[in-house]
Amino acid sequence: MVLISAIAAISLMAVITLICIMKRKAGGPSPIDEMEGRDFEQFCAELLRERGFVEVEVTKGSGDYGIDILAEKDGVTYAIQCKRYDTPVGVKAIQEAYAGRDYYDRMVGAVLTNQYFTAPAVEAAKKLKILLWDRGYLDSMMQE
């Protein structure tokens, strides 16, 4: 039963990714731009799994100290803040990833979004050493 659920989740992920790519190429809105926050977090978690991340865990939601996904890849641990926004992502998300990285005792903090980042957010991320994974990066992950 668990295997069937896992296969269904992977199949659903493949279909969503294909639809997203086709709609982006056609200039239409992508389904990820219409997802609810928790759905976007689950989508991102599955995408990370497909890209070789292990021990991928979506946090409980409230009281998560600003971190939505915990993961590991090549011995490096990550604390990831997901933002499914309609506008560019600001400094607050960077601050949350910074605080959450330390709270969860992870090596790397990152913000993954369907948008892009404001100039102040980029500056804050440089200063606080937070990875920024914007729409371009997300699209490239979906196309791999």
Confirm whether 64 is domain-assigned.
yes
Confirm whether 15 is domain-assigned.
no
pTM of the model: 0.78
What average pLDDT does the structure give for the chain?
83
Name the nearest CA neighbour of 92 among 125, 140, 64: 125
Structural domain count, the chain: 1
Confirm whether 51 is domain-assigned.
yes
What is the per-residue pLDDT for 26?
Answer: 44
Rg (CA), the chain: 15
Confirm whether 86 is domain-assigned.
yes
The domain that holds 106 is classified in CATH as 3.40.1350.10
- In this prediction, residue 133 has a pLDDT band, given cuts at 50, 70 and 90, of very high
Confirm whether 111 is domain-assigned.
yes
Give the domain extent around 119: 35-143
Q: What is the mean pLDDT of residues 114-127?
A: 96
**Rounded alpha-carbon distances, angstroms, from residue 137 to 61, 63, 116, 132, 141:** 24, 28, 10, 9, 6
What is the per-residue pLDDT for 142?
Answer: 85
Confirm whether 99 is domain-assigned.
yes
What is the per-residue pLDDT for 22?
Answer: 44
